[in-house]
Structure 1
Amino acid sequence: MVIRHFLYPILGFLLLNGSLALAEGNATYRLASGDVIRINVFGEQDLSIEEIRLTDAGSFSYPFIGEVQARGKTAAELEQLLTARLKGDYLIDPRVSVSVLKYREFYISGEVKLPGGYPYQPGLTLRRAIALSGGLTELASTGRITIIRDQDPSRTPEKASLDTPVHPGDSITIDQGFF
């Protein structure tokens, strides 16, 4: 009994800190084409959407509002935008929440067994991305890996290691090694 009372505050602390870390990661995530989101308007079933994929332009169609541009916005920014547009004409005090259900794919090519696009997973590293793509071929070089970040407008390849984080929309290239 004493042990249980001692552990509850510790477990609560760990759960809270884990939730905060997850929330911080989602707070900075910028939406783009291919992301799937959920929109919930509290008490308004007709305005809540369980699953909607952003178009190639990074937008979606929403009841009463029309086309909404989500590209480049965080979930919190999109919540504020929808709240502002619904307030007044449609609802008195809308409470909107937006969550990301599925992140856009990352792409891996070159010397991997199964090149292509794969679903992003939070916490993904290059090592795990290679595992998802079937592993390296015999000709692969772990010293010749580059990533083009989806959020980089210049599309400049950057050198990467096996522990480099992978983000949604990134393009990874693994070159051959020289003997």
Structure 2
Amino acid sequence: MTGIVTSVTAQTRLLAIVLIMFVGIVTLSRSGAAQTIYSLDSGDLVRVTVFGEPDLSGEFSIDAQGKLNLALIGPVFVRGMTTSQARTAIHDAYLDGYLRHPDIAVDVVAFRPFFIVGEVNQPGSYSFVPGMNVLNAIAISRGMTYRGDEDDIEILRGNDTARVSIPANLATIVMPGDIVRIAERYF
């Protein structure tokens, strides 16, 4: 009889371990899917390093047209690109008659600001901090007014040509360039 109980207990433990591993994998895949790949846009400050060419390296701001103005090659369009894609575009531009073997690195130095409007005490433009959520954004803007409705929050994401509205709550992640709108409650 004890052999059967020991066998059932071992099977129960094994089942529990498998269940815990499954829940962990599902949680990891969901958190990974929720993260957004950062794409460059106007207002971002990036550091472009051309190894072996200090005169071509420096910090550059992405202009209103989504371009970086770099020495020798002039404007390079980077809006909507990841830093890796921007690195490739700059590499290819320098390779086209300027440098034999350009080795390029692109890093974001400062993100473009986010904006918060509506029923907050100090609406406006604020510096972005990675990992920020709507609650952090509200705190930075000195909190909600007494009319603020935490159940009616909207984020406008994207640039002016392709802006989408996302329903949000206090835990929703804010990205650079987002417009967070806190609606007014009526009761």
Same fold (TM over 0.5): yes
Deviations 1:7-47 (A, max 9, x none): xxxxxxxxxxxxxxxxxx79x31111111000001111111
After TM superposition, the score normalised by the length of structure 2 is 0.76
Segments of structure 2 that go 5 or more residues without pairing to the other structure are 1-34
Residue in structure 1 matching 2:133, options 102, 125, 145? 125
Residue in structure 2 matching 1:79, options 87, 90, 103? 87
1:97-176 pair list within 5 angstroms? 97-150=105-158, 153-176=161-184
Larger Rg, first or second structure (1 or 2): 2
Residue in structure 2 matching 1:63, options 63, 67, 71? 71
CA–CA distance in 2 between the matches of 1:83 and 1:125?
35
CA–CA distance in 2 between the matches of 1:156 and 1:42?
39
**Alpha-carbon distance, 1:178 to partner:** 1.7
- Could you say which residue in structure 2 is the equivalent of 1:19? none
**Alpha-carbon distance, 1:138 to partner:** 1.1
**Alpha-carbon distance, 1:90 to partner:** 2.3
Aligned-residue sequence identity (percent) comes to 37
Q: Aligned partner of 2:92: which letter?
A: A
Contact 1:38–1:98 (Cα < 8 Å) also in 2: yes
User: Alpha carbon RMSD of aligned pairs, Å?
Assistant: 1.8
- Could you say which residue in structure 2 is the equivalent of 1:34? 43
CA–CA distance in 2 between the matches of 1:62 and 1:158?
35
After TM superposition, the score normalised by the length of structure 1 is 0.80
Deviations 1:140-160 (A, max 9, x none): 110111111125855342221
CA–CA distance in 2 between the matches of 1:42 and 1:158?
41
1:79 aligned counterpart, secondary structure: helix
Contact 2:61–2:68 (Cα < 8 Å) also in 1: yes
Q: Aligned partner of 1:102: which letter?
A: A
Say whether residues 1:44 and 2:53 are aligned partners.
yes
State which drifts further: 130-139 or 79-88.
79-88
Contact 1:150–1:171 (Cα < 8 Å) also in 2: no
**Alpha-carbon distance, 1:60 to partner:** 2.1
CA–CA distance in 1 between the matches of 2:99 and 2:165?
47
Count of matched residue positions in the alignment of Structure 1 and Structure 2: 153
1:157 aligned counterpart, secondary structure: strand
CA–CA distance in 2 between the matches of 1:154 and 1:63?
31
Q: Aligned partner of 1:46: which letter?
A: D
Contact 1:37–1:99 (Cα < 8 Å) also in 2: yes
Contact 1:47–1:63 (Cα < 8 Å) also in 2: yes
Q: Aligned partner of 2:70: which letter?
A: Y
